Amino acid sequence: MSEQPFRIPFQLGSQLVNLMVIALGIAAAYFMTIQSLKIELAAKAESAVVETLDKKLSSFEVFLREGVVSKEQFYQFSREVDNRLARIEQYLIHQTGEKIGKD
């Protein structure tokens, strides 16, 4: 008796390959669809953020034009805020440095 290796019939083997290709195609289509939806949502979210910022800037420009705050007053306020934040930052750095040194 001669031993012959186990062989899948050609037709059954090609059907299995076709089935695997179809499954991989479906999986690829699914993941591509999910990825494209993520990209579209990100673009919509970005445009919504830009629109919101544009509205806020427009309202701020109207606020400045109405004369409630002059540009010079605004710049002075901005400098004061920067100075305050710098002092707070230095205070926090100094406090953290003291705590680290004592521990």
Q: What residue spans define the domains of the chain?
A: 10-68, 69-103
- Residue 22 is predicted with a pLDDT of 92
Q: Return the SS3 of 2.
A: coil
- Single out the residue of 75, 52, 79, 53 nearest to residue 64, CA to CA: 75
Q: Which helix (H) or strand (E) holds 65?
A: helix 10-65
Per-residue confidence in pLDDT tens, the chain, 103 aa: 556 666 666 677 788 888 899 999 998 998 898 888 888 877 777 777 778 878 877 777 776 666 666 778 878 888 888 888 888 888 888 776 655 545 4
